[in-house]
């Protein structure tokens, strides 16, 4: 049988295009690791500069407020700068997309900068937790060998002022126990009893600061205890109780304000560093598409010389 007309042409089977991921994690991790490393270097450098600006001698070195202000500025500046460099590297290393629109390409570049920020923050948080654990273990070991009183605790200074005797003239140190003799039991007025009273006073002050006021039974008890321990009058003991309560409130309020300031500075630095990483990734993508040499100046685009 003869076939008349054009022979049928077999159509090839339709093959689905392989799915393509729009996130290049290699570029993201490269930028995040670089940002974390630069942040560590900048923080170390800033700590050295801060220590060199302080001095224990009077009228020398910068004041505490100036150093605190410079520390806040440096923490924010180093974090923003580190993520800016990391975002630029991620945008520059990302593969060029020719089939997407210009706005879509810029969004993907900026998103890679945002992912650099997210991964860098996660790396920093993990390092902070690991470092905090090491510091806590080291501090526990040192505290077990050091004295029981921490001179850096503001509450200790308050207790020292409350329990300061009216006169130390004629005071003599307690005799040391003989070798092999059993330790005597704590009696009222001894050092062991004084430590117990000191801890009790600290608990009462902390509870009063937390509740907002001190009850009259606690106030009377503390005044009697201070008068017995120090030898001052009852009126002077009551004045010491009021002064100690005000000092404890001031210390708590100072710690609260420091925590609030730290939280605001940390949040502001994170938000600004996110915006800096996004913008730097956009610049890195533009330099990549226009073949601009990477000079880290973020200036205007340099025209590409035509090849002959």
The tokens describing 116, both together, are 């650099």
Distance of CA 35 to the CA centre of its chain: 17
Residue 194 CB burial class (10 angstroms; 0-12, 13-18, ≥19) = middle
User: For residue 273, what pLDDT is reported?
Assistant: 92
How far, CA to CA in Å, does 244 sit from each of 153, 162, 201?
14, 7, 10
User: For residue 296, what pLDDT is reported?
Assistant: 53
* SS3 label, residue 291: coil
Q: What span, in angstroms and rounded, lies between the C-alpha atoms of 118 and 93?
A: 18
Q: Are 215 and 237 in contact (CB under 8 A)?
A: no
CB atoms within 10 A of CB 121: 18
User: For residue 136, what pLDDT is reported?
Assistant: 42
User: For residue 30, what pLDDT is reported?
Assistant: 92
Counting Cα atoms < 13 Å in the Cβ hemisphere of 42 gives: 19
Residues of the chain falling short of pLDDT 70: 1-21, 55-56, 59-61, 99, 131-153, 167-194, 294-308
What stretches of the chain show up as alpha helix (H) in DSSP?
A: 25-53, 64-93, 102-145, 154-162, 191-211, 216-230, 234-289
User: For residue 185, what pLDDT is reported?
Assistant: 45
Selection from 253, 237, 249 nearest residue 205 by Cα = 249
* SS3 label, residue 9: coil
In what helix (H) or strand (E) does residue 96 lie, and over which residues does it extend? Answer: none
């Amino acid at each position: 049988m003869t076939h008349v007309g054009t022979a049928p042409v077999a159509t090839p089977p339709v093959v689905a295009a392989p799915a393509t991921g729009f996130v290049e994690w290699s570029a993201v991790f490269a930028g995040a690791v670089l940002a974390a490393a630069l942040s560590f270097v900048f923080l170390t450098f800033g700590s050295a500069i801060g220590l060199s600006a302080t001095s224990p001698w009077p009228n020398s070195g910068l004041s505490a407020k100036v150093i605190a202000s410079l520390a806040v500025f440096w923490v924010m500046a180093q974090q923003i700068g580190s993520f800016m460099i990391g975002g630029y590297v991620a945008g520059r290393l990302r593969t060029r997309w020719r089939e997407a629109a210009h706005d879509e390409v810029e969004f993907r570049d900026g998103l890679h900068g945002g992912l650099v920020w997210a991964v860098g923050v996660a790396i920093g948080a993990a390092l902070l937790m690991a470092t905090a654990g090491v510091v806590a273990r080291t501090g526990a070991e040192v505290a077990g060998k050091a004295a029981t009183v921490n001179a850096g605790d503001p509450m200790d200074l308050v207790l020292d002022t409350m329990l300061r005797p009216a006169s130390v003239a004629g005071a003599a140190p307690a005799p040391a126990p003989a070798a092999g003799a059993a330790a005597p039991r704590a009696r009222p007025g001894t050092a062991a009893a004084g430590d117990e009273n000191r801890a009790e006073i600290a608990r009462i002050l902390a509870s009063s600061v937390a509740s907002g006021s001190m009850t009259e039974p606690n106030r009377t008890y503390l005044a009697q205890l201070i008068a017995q321990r120090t030898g001052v009058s009852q009126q002077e003991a009551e004045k010491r109780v009021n002064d100690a309560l005000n000092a404890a409130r001031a210390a708590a309020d100072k710690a609260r304000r420091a925590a609030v300031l730290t939280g605001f500075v940390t949040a502001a630095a994170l938000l600004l560093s996110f915006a800096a990483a996004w913008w730097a990734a956009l610049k890195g993508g533009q330099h990549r598409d226009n073949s601009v040499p990477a000079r880290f100046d973020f200036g205007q685009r340099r025209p590409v010389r035509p090849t002959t």
